[in-house]
Chains A and B, each alone.
Chain A
Amino acid sequence: MLVVAFVSFSLFNFVGDPINNMVGEETSDEERAELRETLGLMDPIHVQFSRFIINASKGEFGISYQLRRPVSELIVERLPATVELVVISALIAIITGTLLGVYTGINRKGFLSDFVLAISLLGVSLPTFVIGILFIYLFAVILGILPSFGRGEVVDLGFWTTGFLTVSGLKAIILPSVTLSLFQMTYIIRLVRAEMMEILQTDYIKFARARGISENSIKYKHALKNGLIPVITIAGINIGTLIAFSIITETVFQWPGMGFLFIQAVQFVDIPIMSAYLVFIAFVFVMINFIVDILYYLIDPRIRVKGDVASG
């Protein structure tokens, strides 16, 4: 975290002069110097950095150069949109991915499996923005059934604004989340498929067959549970990737989330927003890995009880 904080801090502090972007042409040199002083840009690097860290840990990332509002406020405002988008697409990716993966893993030969695999190949190879534009063209322009941009109507719950409670909000989330999930979904399909195929060859599946356990129980109880363990790792890493990919998806669909905010910030060299975004993403990654480790602990008994493993 500290490293990421330093990188984000130093990277943006040495790129360009923020004052130039903030003030107009006619500002005098005295006014500029004064502004520099108030923003603390004249202090030595390490003082600036420690201030940055202290403020960051309090959730303050300074004031946006461009919008002249505290960055923390902007992030809190945009957070719900991104979180809703990422959660929905993660759910789509994991649930559909696992179901299709199990299906193709068990029925290795067959038209439907080949079809799913062919489509999944497409999903891996096509870039997100192409898929997004294709979807917009198909569903919004030609068929006209789904909105092409924005979140639709949102309901403000005070601390959270949600699009789940209105029809237009729900409609609006379909295209971006499907677009975003597609890449991860195909990834999970292939992973689950490979896992299932491998596990169905193992000795304990063979032994279960030799005991006459029914095929359904073998496939969905014995094999699937083991097959899901690596999926959790990948899914955890991928939720982080989803947030990263959401920058593109949010831009394509004009989704008012953090990725969109970030892109706008990049265009204006709005350093506080950019560094806050980076620190925030790093924080999310660390949290997700932490949660994945806990999930591992809960699911895999081999990790859970290390103490009394008998040796020999």
Chain B
Amino acid sequence: MTFLKINNLSVDYQMRKETVNAAKNVNIEVKKGEILGLVGESGSGKSTVGNAIINLIDEPGKVSSGSVILGDLNIHENSESIVKYRGNKIGLIFQDPQTSLNPILTVGEQLIETIQTHLKLSKEDAKNKSINLLKEVGIKDAETRFDNYPHQFSGGMRQRVVISLALCCEPELLIADEPTTALDVSIQSQILELIKKLTKERNLAVILITHDMGVIAETADRVAVMKSGNLVEIGETKKILTQPRENYTKSLVSSVPPTNKKISRFVIVEKENSDKKENNIKILNRWTKKGIIDQDLVQIKNLRKSFDDNFFTESSKNSVMAVDDVSFDIKEGESFGLVGESGSGKSTIAKMIVSLFKPTSGDIFFDNVRITKIKQRSELMKFRKQIQMIFQDPYSSLNGRLKVKDIITEPITLHNPSISNLDLNNYIYDLLESVELTQKSADRYPHEFSGGQRQRISIARALATQPRLLVCDEPTSALDVSIQAQILNLLKDLQEQLNLTILFISHDLPVVRQMCDRIGVLKDGKLCEVSNTEDLFLKPAHEYTKELLRLMPKIESIYN
């Protein structure tokens, strides 16, 4: 029996010049006890639909037409009526558990307040109910944790608190907006299990909004696909993922890195780029190419890094070892992957390799030179030129006040001050074309570009000094899958043609499998194992690796 019925829902954002339709005539139905996955890329309107159900659209947007029927209630009858259903009949979970709890109220205060808003309970009863809820969502020592502040919980625990808050007044509909995107895989699977369990036990209707096809494959009963405000396709999960009807769904599914095999390139359905090979040659002419010698380009020996080791508290008991006795080598021309959950020290290692951090002890050798012992700035610059980094967030890693041209010029002139203007301009154009951007982009500012294009600019900037080693720290985790596929293809092409060595850091196992020749697995600053990619995925040696592989959401699970 249909429980939630969304009819012709439209959401408009009235801008100064035009009206943006964030959602257009969306029709969705959800049954009780069913999880409906709502997928789409960023800007597709999936969160807008989620928020529109409880009329929580920020100004200047508003629900312009359509109705939402919950059971036999029309909850959009007027703008005030919806307020009493929020939290009461409908619970909402947001993406980031770090920001969705009020930092200066205890968890208990927030729970009690929510319960007392909707249910007529005494403070004592509300407290008991909250403690039971915390226990139900899997928080140990609920009695003492009740009085803790949000910052005293870890990310996963905090998301459990958020879930308990969403469920505390026994809603019948739960809207989860990217509930696990900000979490590590192991915690992600716990939270998803919890949502599945609660759906069954409480007979909830659930709308799960996500961009992660793996999550959808493992949890959702049915899927609705959205693109630029329109509902493209809706149907059984298995059918949508295996036999998509619409072109858009096809490209979306094919962009998802498969977890069970290695493919040479991602298939990009919509876009064809035939003139790309030619472009890449341009930059190749300038590349002072070194023949690949079978040697280790980077050697890392017993690397340690502890933070808060300042002058006064050296080797104190409390100091955290971010990187603890890590040794591995990267061969010239290979892609080496470092995987691990947040806090495992993978980014710290990257920053030490590019000499942004100083190791506490241990050595890093680059091309057989010990770069950790270099004192002179000019000496270090020689290595800085050969090692370049691409950061995770393409929005904050480019200076918004500089034109793209100036962003790329900076590293070139820093390492080659005598370059002529004409030569410089040509070089910039070549670089831009190599990353599949037009020459015109040189005179624009970063904010005029999309996330994927910005990441291309970052790559061009990194290539400007003709590095031998490219350190990519989660280069695609802020991007949509289809864009991710394009960027990964680009990195693969560049590596092939320029003989780049890549250190690829990611938490995303399927991506690492597609990108890397060898992989190191990190946990709590320690290296668990290093092995060839296929060996690692097929016969993992370490317990932790097995665990990670088991928990990784697999889009292929739909076949089972």
Q: Which residues of B contact A204 (CB under 8 A)?
A: 99-103
Stretch at the interface among B145-153, B423-431, B455-463: B145-153
How many contacts between A and B, using CB within 8 angstroms? 100
Name the distance in Å between A169's Cβ and chain B's nearest Cβ.
Answer: 40
Residue A95 lies at the interface, judged by CB distance under 8 Å to chain B = no
Contact check: which of A209, A310, A312 meets B86 at CB < 8 Å?
A209
Known: A203-B94, A206-B94. A212 touches B86 (CB 8 A): yes
Name the distance in Å between B116's Cβ and chain A's nearest Cβ.
Answer: 10
CB atoms of A300 and B114 under 8 A apart: no
Output the nearest chain A residue to B101 by Cβ-Cβ distance: A204
Known: A203-B96, A217-B113, A310-B152. A212 touches B85 (CB 8 A): yes
Write out, one digit per residue, whether chain B residues 91-120 have a CB within 8 A of any chain A CB (1) or not (0): 110101001111111100010011001100
Chain B, interface size category, equals 35 or more
* Alpha-carbon distance A199/B152, docked complex (angstroms): 21
Contact check: which of B88, B106, B149 meets A302 at CB < 8 Å?
B149
Q: Which residues of B contact A301 (CB under 8 A)?
A: 103-104, 106, 149, 151
Q: Which residues of B contact A300 (CB under 8 A)?
A: 103-104
* Alpha-carbon distance A206/B168, docked complex (angstroms): 17
Q: Is the interface of A mostly helix, strand, loop or mixed?
A: helix
Residue B87 lies at the interface, judged by CB distance under 8 Å to chain A = yes
CB atoms of A209 and B103 under 8 A apart: no
Name the distance in Å between A17's Cβ and chain B's nearest Cβ.
Answer: 47
* Alpha-carbon distance A305/B153, docked complex (angstroms): 12
Residue A28 lies at the interface, judged by CB distance under 8 Å to chain B = no
Known: A204-B102, A212-B85, A212-B86. A309 touches B151 (CB 8 A): yes
Contact check: which of A201, A211, A310, A312 meets B114 at CB < 8 Å?
A211
CB atoms of A213 and B104 under 8 A apart: no
* Alpha-carbon distance A26/B155, docked complex (angstroms): 83
Q: Which residues of A contact B83 (CB under 8 A)?
A: 212
Known: A206-B94, A210-B56, A211-B165. A222 touches B151 (CB 8 A): no
Residue B239 lies at the interface, judged by CB distance under 8 Å to chain A = no
* Alpha-carbon distance A300/B102, docked complex (angstroms): 12
CB atoms of B84 and A212 under 8 A apart: yes
Q: Which residues between 264 and 312 of chain A lie within 8 Å of chain B, taking CB atoms?
A: 299-302, 305, 308-312
Q: Which residues of A contact B103 (CB under 8 A)?
A: 204, 226, 300-302
Name the distance in Å between A87's Cβ and chain B's nearest Cβ.
Answer: 27
* Alpha-carbon distance A222/B102, docked complex (angstroms): 7
A: number of interface residues (CB 8 Å): 29
Q: Which residues between 43 and 96 of chain B lie within 8 Å of chain A, taking CB atoms?
A: 54, 56, 58, 83-88, 91-92, 94, 96
CB atoms of A312 and B155 under 8 A apart: yes
Residue A202 lies at the interface, judged by CB distance under 8 Å to chain B = yes
* Alpha-carbon distance A211/B93, docked complex (angstroms): 10
Name the distance in Å between A174's Cβ and chain B's nearest Cβ.
Answer: 36
Write out, one digit per residue, whether chain A residues 207-228 have a CB within 8 A of any chain B CB (1) or not (0): 1111111100100011001100
Output the nearest chain B residue to A229 by Cβ-Cβ distance: B104
CB atoms of B92 and A310 under 8 A apart: no
Write out, one digit per residue, whether chain A residues 245-262 have a CB within 8 A of any chain B CB (1) or not (0): 000000000000000000
Contact check: which of B86, B96, B187 meets A210 at CB < 8 Å?
B86
Output the nearest chain B residue to A302 by Cβ-Cβ distance: B151
Q: Which residues between 150 and 187 of chain B lie within 8 Å of chain A, taking CB atoms?
A: 151-157, 162, 165-166, 168-169, 184, 187
Q: Which residues of B contact A209 (CB under 8 A)?
A: 56, 86
CB atoms of A210 and B151 under 8 A apart: no
In this complex, the member of A201, A202, A204, A302 whose beta carbon has the largest number of chain B beta carbons within 10 angstroms is A204
* Alpha-carbon distance A305/B103, docked complex (angstroms): 13
Q: Which residues of A contact B400 (CB under 8 A)?
A: none
* Alpha-carbon distance A225/B106, docked complex (angstroms): 13
Q: Which residues between 166 and 225 of chain A lie within 8 Å of chain B, taking CB atoms?
A: 201-204, 206-214, 217, 221-222, 225
Known: A212-B114, A213-B114, A309-B152. A206 touches B86 (CB 8 A): no
Q: Which residues of A contact B85 (CB under 8 A)?
A: 212
Q: Which residues of A contact B104 (CB under 8 A)?
A: 225-226, 229, 299-302
CB atoms of A222 and B105 under 8 A apart: yes
CB atoms of B166 and A211 under 8 A apart: yes
Contact check: which of A202, A207, A302, A310 meets B162 at CB < 8 Å?
A207
Q: Which residues of B contact A201 (CB under 8 A)?
A: 58
CB atoms of A210 and B149 under 8 A apart: no
CB atoms of A213 and B87 under 8 A apart: yes
CB atoms of B113 and A212 under 8 A apart: no
Contact check: which of B99, B114, B157, B184 meets A203 at CB < 8 Å?
B99
CB atoms of A211 and B87 under 8 A apart: yes
CB atoms of B157 and A208 under 8 A apart: no
Contact check: which of A203, A212, A311 meets B343 at CB < 8 Å?
A311
In this complex, the member of A202, A204, A210, A299 whose beta carbon has the largest number of chain B beta carbons within 10 angstroms is A210
CB atoms of B184 and A312 under 8 A apart: yes
Output the nearest chain B residue to A305 by Cβ-Cβ distance: B152
Q: Which residues of B contact A229 (CB under 8 A)?
A: 104
Name the distance in Å between A286's Cβ and chain B's nearest Cβ.
Answer: 22
In this complex, the member of A201, A207, A209 whose beta carbon has the largest number of chain B beta carbons within 10 angstroms is A207
CB atoms of B87 and A212 under 8 A apart: yes
Output the nearest chain A residue to B110 by Cβ-Cβ distance: A208
* Alpha-carbon distance A203/B165, docked complex (angstroms): 14
CB atoms of B56 and A206 under 8 A apart: yes
Residue B342 lies at the interface, judged by CB distance under 8 Å to chain A = yes
Q: Which residues of A contact B152 (CB under 8 A)?
A: 305, 308-310
Name the distance in Å between A52's Cβ and chain B's nearest Cβ.
Answer: 32
CB atoms of B154 and A311 under 8 A apart: yes
* Alpha-carbon distance A209/B151, docked complex (angstroms): 21
* Alpha-carbon distance A209/B100, docked complex (angstroms): 11
* Alpha-carbon distance A64/B36, docked complex (angstroms): 83
CB atoms of A208 and B102 under 8 A apart: yes
Name the distance in Å between A221's Cβ and chain B's nearest Cβ.
Answer: 8
* Alpha-carbon distance A222/B106, docked complex (angstroms): 11
Contact check: which of A207, A214, A305, A308 meets B101 at CB < 8 Å?
A207
Question: Would you give 15 A-B contacts (Cβ < 8 Å), ordered by A?
Answer: A203-B100, A204-B99, A204-B100, A207-B94, A208-B110, A210-B91, A211-B87, A211-B166, A217-B113, A226-B102, A300-B104, A305-B152, A310-B153, A312-B156, A312-B342
- Known A-B contacts: A204-B102, A212-B87, A312-B154. Give 16 more (CB < 8 A): A202-B99, A203-B100, A204-B99, A204-B103, A207-B162, A207-B165, A210-B56, A211-B166, A212-B84, A213-B114, A213-B117, A225-B105, A300-B104, A302-B103, A310-B153, A312-B155
What 10 A-B pairs have minimum CB-CB distances, sorted nearest first? A212-B87, A211-B87, A212-B86, A210-B92, A203-B99, A310-B154, A301-B149, A207-B100, A312-B154, A203-B100
